[in-house]
Amino acid sequence: MIHSQVNVLAELLEAAAEQTSERRVITPLAELERMAASMPPPRRLAGALRAPGLGVIAELKPRSPIAGALTENYDPVSRARQYTAGGASALSVLTHTAGFGGCPEDLATVRLASHLPIIRKDFITDEYQVTEARAFGADALLLIVSALSREKLGELLRVTWRWGMEAIVEVHTANEADIAVAAGARVIGVNHRDLRTFSLDLTLIERLLDRVGPDRVLVAESGIRSAQDAERLRISGADAVLVGEMLMRAGDPESAVRELAEITAPPRPRPWAAWRSPRAW
């Protein structure tokens, strides 16, 4: 298990790079591109999250690098069906093996089990991983600003859009939020957990709210342990929440998702910040 508190993100990125190197030998990029080109059109993530009420991105992961195992018998098909029946807006699938126990093939498994948009959640730094996401059926993926240079973020976004996918661009600071907006991110995730130390701050979204205009989808990530937490984040301005550990530990995942999906509190309005509007890269 990855467990160092010095810089968890660095360890996860290194493990993801090793995983990608191994998979690249087995399946060359050209073959992945053929697979991706044969996939049906991606399902639209932003539209699903903008539906009335709180959008719920329900996450599938057998374990976490800090908490360890989250479920005894990980069955992505059953879990995806339960989340879908509970009213989730989208499904997030961890494909990082060393830290979270997932793999890219889980994307294809989950896609067959649900009609919802599927997000590849991983530590993506390479075009290969983006193409692999589409080849196995992902409709969207996660890009972490703190893991990428501005140039690499722009490059990976362009590859993502070329395949018709969407990206949740994850930020943790005001500067990162400005970078995401400038890159043209349409869905921005505020991760309340600092991936360098795994410390948590649920007030972060309130401080970053004015960095993101109302034309973007704002997703609150990490540290959501109850419907009360989710409602608080909704009132703070979130269009959607991404919830993993709480749902993976739930005795009745369908009911747990439904409790979140039925939150009707309106979000706090987000001001326009014209000087931070997207610009060309």
Q: How far apart (Å, rounded) are the C-alpha atoms in residues 129 and 22?
A: 12
Query: Which domains, and CATH codes, for the chain?
Result: 8-264 (3.20.20.70)
- pLDDT-above-70 percentage for the chain: 95
Handedness of CA 238, 240, 246, 252 (dihedral sign): positive
**7 has catalytic annotation:** no
64, 89, 114, 222: the catalytic one is 222
Comparing 113-122, 195-204, 252-261, the range with the smallest average pLDDT is 195-204
11, 127, 132, 221: the catalytic one is 221
Handedness of CA 223, 224, 230, 232 (dihedral sign): negative
Q: How far apart (Å, rounded) are the C-alpha atoms in residues 35 and 26?
A: 14
pLDDT at 145: 97
170, 176, 245, 254: the catalytic one is 170
pLDDT at 199: 81
For 105-142, how does the pLDDT look when each residue is reduced to its tens digit (9 = 90+)? 999 999 999 999 999 999 999 999 999 999 999 999 99
- Report the candidate in 198, 43, 63, 47 with the shortest Cα–Cα distance to residue 111: 43
**262 has catalytic annotation:** no
Asked whether the predicted pLDDT for residue 225 surpasses 80, the reply is yes
**255 has catalytic annotation:** no
For 203-221, how does the pLDDT look when each residue is reduced to its tens digit (9 = 90+)? 999 999 989 988 999 999 9
11, 61, 89, 114: the catalytic one is 61
- Work out the pLDDT band at 273, boundaries 50, 70, 90: low
64, 89, 114, 121: the catalytic one is 121
Q: How far apart (Å, rounded) are the C-alpha atoms in residues 5 and 10?
A: 10
Q: How far apart (Å, rounded) are the C-alpha atoms in residues 127 and 43?
A: 20
**61 has catalytic annotation:** yes
**121 has catalytic annotation:** yes
92, 114, 191, 236: the catalytic one is 191
